[in-house]
Amino acid sequence: EKTLESGRALNVFHQICDALVHAHEQGVIHRDIKPANVIVSTTESGVETARIVDFGIAKILPVANRETHNLTETRQVFGSPHYMSPE
């Protein structure tokens, strides 16, 4: 297993957070964030860019009720169990 230097990891983390904020502002909730769904590429000049992929189970919130946050119903499970919050 590889580890990232802390500054590099923080840069990637910030890019992931920015991407999620952008998606949420557009009414899109990913629902399966995990390492396999983050692609990090490096340009020839050495700049790293993190991208979130696999929006296959994303929830698109209607404009009218984006404030309600009814993302799942009782007994519905979305995402990868290993990366889910316990609740």
Whether 32 sits among the annotated catalytic residues: the reply is yes
- CB-based contact 38:30 (threshold 8 Å): no
Total residues belonging to the chain: 87
- CB-based contact 12:41 (threshold 8 Å): no
Contacts of 69 (CB under 8 A, 6+ apart): none
The catalytically annotated residue of 9, 18, 31, 32 is: 32
Contacts of 42 (CB under 8 A, 6+ apart): 48, 49
Active-site residue set:
32
